[in-house]
Structure 1
Amino acid sequence: MSPAEKEAVQRFRADVVEPSMTKLVIVDFWAEWCGPCKALGPVLDKVAAEYADKGVVLAKVDTDKDQFIAAQFQIRSIPTVYAMFQGQLVADLTPARTEAQLKQMLDQLLRQLPIEGEAQSQEAELEPLIAMGEQVLAEGDAARALSIFDQLAEMAPDHHAVVSGRIRALVAAGQVDAAEAAIAALPEEVAKLPDIVRAQSALALARSAPAVDDLGPLEAAVTARPDDLQARYDLANARMAAGQRDAAADGFLSIVATERDWNDGAARQQLLKLFEVVGLEDPWVSAQRRRLSAILFG
């Protein structure tokens, strides 16, 4: 190699290879005369800045000035964009020409690779705390769960699981208007995320099944009129609002077992909403789904 080529290799090692040992490096092969390169450049700059705390860095290689490096990567057209981790190419990002496409590809890589970034460190710190808040919420202690999620919101106000947990804790605590305001304040794209949809389901359920101070009259009505499906439905809704999910599920399932299409399938619909709120991956939901399937198809 010539002295210039050795210098190019050393520069590439310092700018790309060494950072890639712990970070995901986006390598942008470009040239000053390349129009598409100039169009893509600001997109790469913006996304790399947004993903910096996730361990993503951007390195640019001018194919005119660093022809030796471009030749080593067999660059035949530009822009060409690669992702490198631990000194190895892990993805061709060239097809991603929009911000959304690039983010989608980066998100997939970050899920697969052990990247070291501030966001990953924060996620590892938050995960057990979020789990604790969810457990407290599942146990029915809405006030304590809300306190936990309020503290987590101070640490990570934009974390989707934290936002969802806090909204659901507000609902469980009877602060339905505050929960609705919190959802309304979210950007449209965030409101479509699964965690937030779960919180929206909790709010919708609270609106359709408001809390009842005394379950006694509803229980008495069911005892007096066991064939009255509306009475059973009202009691199941009230139990659901009170956090008695086992009893609520029993009530809805008993209605489905008696008359599956009663009131246009209202009992089944409420049960499915309850599943969404608890979490479709929760073991409790899996058990109740099996009970429902046995009634519908057994």
Structure 2
Amino acid sequence: MASLGLNIEEQKAVDRFRSQVAEPSMTSLVILDFWAEWCGPCKALTPLLEKVAADYADKGVILAKVNVDEERFIADQFQIRSIPTVYAMFQGQPVADLTNARTESQLQGMLDQLLAKLPIQPGGEAAPDLAPLLAMGEEVLAEGDGERAASVFAQIADMAPDNVQAIGGLIRALIVADRIDEAEETLAALDPALAADPAIERARSALELAKAKPDDSELATLRAAAAERPADLDAQFAFANAAFAAGERDAAADTLLKMVAADREWNEGAARTKLLQMFEAIGLEDSWVAATRRRLSTVLFG
């Protein structure tokens, strides 16, 4: 759960959730019950949840309750629209919706299925498997949802402060969310021992490119100058920089590839270097990067 840009009360709510739910869920399966004092069905459900959680305690199951009136911020993060709502949580993430399990046998059946699939270690200190969470963050980021991706990566970074993939992902997500200042602060606060990691270098490249983002009028001016002076490589390069920062990957790449074709040594190979920086910022596994790299190879080697 993201903790950047929160007020004091929201931060306290996040800290409570982390200690009561997220951290226990690293090695246990947490039944997370959203309820309220005025909710009749919630009161009817409570004895069932408490009994089953107690019966399954030796299997690594615990019960955590969130009063939606007292913890409105947490309820909003989970987009709670009705109560009772009950989730199963493991390693900081919802892994099942238990809301419709209203009998003991139904709840036991759902827990048995989860326990058979998840690496629950009662009383153990198993390190969380962050790979699925990192993959989720990258997937969300690839969809262009910077805010949600930042939330995922920030949660992973909370669990594993030295995880460079999470930190790099967080910086890139903040950039996509247009939270450039926060991205710079996150990078500046990084332990120098981690700063040279490829994941951080990728994020740094993305940040450098994003800081060149122009406003609409500036971009229009640079575009017009590039169109009017096709032989002016300075004008072409300025437009390519601005176009990429503004999210126009194709326009930036097309311009830089034409520059490489026209004069690959211009400004000590600046056009090719900029393309490589773009590839690093986006990620070499990206399909657009792979296609553009092939185009660059064709220009360079025929």
TM-score by length of 2: 0.53
Q: Which amino acid aligns with 1:262?
A: W
**Identity over aligned pairs, percent:** 49
- How far apart in 1 are the matches of 2:176 and 2:281? 11
AA partner of residue 129 (structure 2):
Q
Q: How far did 1:149 drift? A: 3.5
Report if aligned partners of 1:198, 1:279 keep a CA contact under 8 Å in 2: yes
What per-residue deviation string (whole Å, max 9, x for no partner) do you get for residues 231-284 of structure 1? Answer: 221111111101221221111111111111122211111111111111123332
- Cα deviation 1:182-225 (Å, max 9, x = unaligned): 11211122112221111112223334x34333322222222222
- 1:290 is aligned to 2:294: yes
Counterparts in 2 of 1:96-135, with a 5 A limit?
A: 118-119=126-127, 121-135=128-142
Which is richer in helix?
A: 1
- Per-residue CA deviation, residues 101-124 of structure 1 (Å, 9 max, x unaligned), is xxxxxxxxxxxxx9x9733x4324
2:257 corresponds in structure 1 to: 253
- In the alignment, the residues of structure 1 paired with residue 191 and residue 277 of structure 2 have an alpha-carbon distance, to the nearest angstrom, of 23
Match of 2:153 in 1: 149
> What is the letter of the counterpart of residue 122 of structure 1?
D
User: Contact (CA 8 Å) 1:146, 1:169: kept in 2 or not?
Assistant: yes
Structural mapping, 1:16-165, within 5 Å: 118-119=126-127, 121-136=128-143, 139=144, 141-154=145-158, 156-165=160-169
Gaps of 5+ in 1: 1-52, 55-113
1:225 partnered with 2:234: no
Amino acid at match of 2:141: E
Contact 1:212 1:238 in 2 (8 A): no
Q: Distance in 2 between matches of 1:211 and 1:172?
A: 15
From the superposition, tell whether residues 124 and 159 of structure 1 become closer, same or farther in structure 2 (CA, over 3 Å): same
**In the alignment, which residue of structure 1 is the partner of 2:70?**
none
After superposition, the Cα gap between the structure-2 partners of 1:243 and 1:146, relative to the gap in structure 1 and judged at 3 Å, is farther
Deviation per CA, 1:155-203, whole angstroms, max 9, x where unpaired?
A: 5544322211111122334433332221121112211222111111222
- Quickly say closer, same or farther: Cα 1:223–1:192, change in 2 above 3 A: closer
Change in Cα spacing, 1:146 to 1:211, as seen in structure 2 (3 Å) is farther
* Structure 1 counterpart of 2:188, from 167, 184, 188: 184
Choose 214-223 or 261-270, whichever is displaced more. 214-223
The match for 1:211 is 214
SS at the partner of 1:276? helix
Q: 1:289 to 1:118 in 2, by over 3 A?
A: same
Residue 244 of structure 1 aligns to which amino acid in structure 2?
E
Asked if the contact 2:206/2:281 (under 8 Å) is kept, the reply is yes
SS of residue in 2 equivalent to 1:122: coil
Q: Aligned in 2, Cα 1:284/1:147: closer, same or farther, shift over 3 Å?
A: same
Amino acid at match of 2:214: A
**CA distance in 1: counterparts of 2:152 and 2:133, whole angstroms:** 11
- The answer to whether the Cα contact below 8 Å between 1:152 and 1:162 also exists between their aligned partners in 2 is yes
| Contact 1:133 1:149 survives alignment (8 Å) | no
Distance 2:213 2:166 in 1: 24
Aligned 8 A contact 1:133 1:165 in 2: no
The number of residue pairs the alignment matches comes to 181
Q: Which residue of 2 aligns with 1:90?
A: none
Question: Judging changes above 3 Å, is the alpha-carbon distance between structure 1 residues 181 and 124 closer, same or farther for their aligned structure 2 residues?
Answer: closer
Question: Which amino acid in structure 2 is aligned with residue 270 of structure 1?
Answer: K
CA distance in structure 2 between the partners assigned to 1:292 and 1:130 by the alignment: 29
Which residue of structure 2 lines up, in the alignment, with residue 281 of structure 1?
A: 285
Counterpart contact for 1:212–1:241, Cα < 8 Å = no
SS in 2 for 1:170: helix
Report the residue type matching 2:247 in the other structure: G
Partner residue, 1:262: 266
Secondary structure of the 2:264 match is: coil
- Specify the code of the residue in structure 2 equivalent to 1:284: W
Change (3 A) 1:212 1:230: farther
CA-atom RMSD, angstroms?
2.8
